Structure 1
Amino acid sequence: MIEVYIDGASAGNPGPSGAGIFIKVNGTVERYALPLPNMSNHEAEYYALIHALKICIEKNYSIVSFRTDSQLVNQAIEKEFVKNRTYAPLLEQALELASTLDLFFMKWIPSSENKAADELARAAVKRSKEKGESSFET
C-alpha cells in the first residue's frame, strides 16, 4: 500500500500558500513542494489533497492510504460533507478523484507525525512568496 502524507500552508489568511506531499512507495520516497497562489490555509490543505490524488492517479498508484493533520479535511472526506460551502467544490473534486482509485483511505494524524509534508508545504510557501511562483491548477 502506498502511504501519502499531505499538508497545506499559508503565509497569512489568505496569503501565499503551498502544498506539501510526501509519498512512500515500496521503500522509496517522493517529495513534492507545490507553490500555490494566495488562499487560506484550509484551501491549501484541500489543494494538497487534490494534487496528491492527481499524482497517485498519474502514477497508477491504485491502493493508497492518505495521512493529514487537517481535521477539517479528514472529517470532510469521512462525512463527504462540508459546513462551509466555500470548500464544497474542493471536496467534490477530491471525492471524484478518490473514487477512481481501487482503494482510498484517509487518516488524521497529529502534526508531529506529518513533519515531512509540513516542511515541503512551508518550502512551497517560501517559493511562492519569493518569486510569485505558482504551480496552481484545479
Structure 2
Amino acid sequence: MIEVYFDGASAGNPGPSGAGIFIKGNGQPERYSIPLDEMSNHEAEFHAFILALEICLEKQFQTVSFRTDSELVNRSIEKEFVKSKQYKPLLERALLLTQQFHLFFLKWIPSSENKNADELARNAIRQASKKQKDMDH
C-alpha cells in the first residue's frame, strides 16, 4: 500500500504558502515541495491534499493511505462537510478525486509523525518567497 504524508503551511495568515508531500511504499520515497499562492494555513492544507491526490492519480496508484496532521481536512473528508464557505470548493474537489481510487484511506496523525511533509511544505514557502523577491528586483 502507498502511504502519502501531506502538509500545508503558511508564513502568515494569509501569507506565502507551500505544500509538502512525502510518498512511500513504491520503491524510493518521493518528496514534493510545491509553492502555493498567498493563502491561509487551512487553505494550504486543503491544496496540499488535492495536489497529493492528483499526483497519486497521475501515477495510477489505486490503494492509497493518506496521513495528515490537519484536523480540519481529516474531519471535513470524513463528514463530507465543512462549515466555512471558502473551503467548500476545495472539499468538493478533494472528494471528487478520492472517488477515483479503488481503496482510499485518510488518517489523522500528530504533527510529530508528519515531519517529512512539514519540512517539504516549509521548503516550498522558502521557494515561493525567493521567487517573489527575485520578481521584485
Range class of TM-score, shorter chain: over 0.9
- The aligned residue for residue 51 of structure 2 is 51
Give the aligned partner of residue 25 of structure 2.
Answer: 25
Q: Please give the residue correspondences for 1:1-138 in structure 2 after superposition, counting only pairs within 5 Å.
A: 1-132=1-132
Gaps of 5+ in 2: none
Secondary structure of the equivalent of 1:125? helix
Unaligned 5+ segments in structure 1 are 134-138
- Secondary structure at the aligned position of 2:18 is classed as strand
Q: RMSD of the TM alignment (CA)?
A: 1.0
Runs of 4+ aligned residues of structure 1 deviating over 3 Å after TM superposition are none
TM-score by length of 1: 0.94
Count of residues in correspondence between the two structures: 133
Deviations 1:95-133 (A, max 9, x none): 001101111100000000000000000000011111139
In structure 1, C-alpha distance between the alignment counterparts of 2:91 and 2:26, rounded to whole Å = 29
1:45-80, Cα deviation, whole Å (9 max, x unpaired): 000000000000000001000000000000000000
The whole-number CA distance in structure 1 between the counterparts of 2:3 and 2:43 is: 22
Larger Cα-atom Rg:
2
CA distance in 2 between counterparts of 1:83 and 1:42 reads 13
CA distance in 2, matches of 1:75, 1:28: 30
TM-score by length of structure 2 reads: 0.95
CA distance in 2 between counterparts of 1:98 and 1:29 reads 22
Q: CA deviation at 1:85?
A: 1.1
Tell me the percent identity: 68
